Amino acid sequence: MGWGRMLLLGNVGQQLDIQDLENAINQMQADVAQTQNLDHTQEQSLEELRNETHELKLYLATVVKLLVAKGVIRQEEVDTAVQAIEKN
59-84 tens-digit pLDDT: 999 999 999 999 999 999 999 999 99
Helices (H), 1-88: 3-9, 11-69, 75-87
Q: For residue 39, what pLDDT band results from cuts at 50, 70 and 90?
A: confident
Q: Please give the residue that has the higher pLDDT: either 54 or 15.
A: 54
What residues contact residue 6 under an 8 Å CB cut-off, 6+ apart? 13, 14, 17
* Residue 1 confidence (pLDDT): 52
Report pTM.
Answer: 0.56
Q: Please give the residue that has the higher pLDDT: either 41 or 9.
A: 41
* Residue 2 confidence (pLDDT): 60
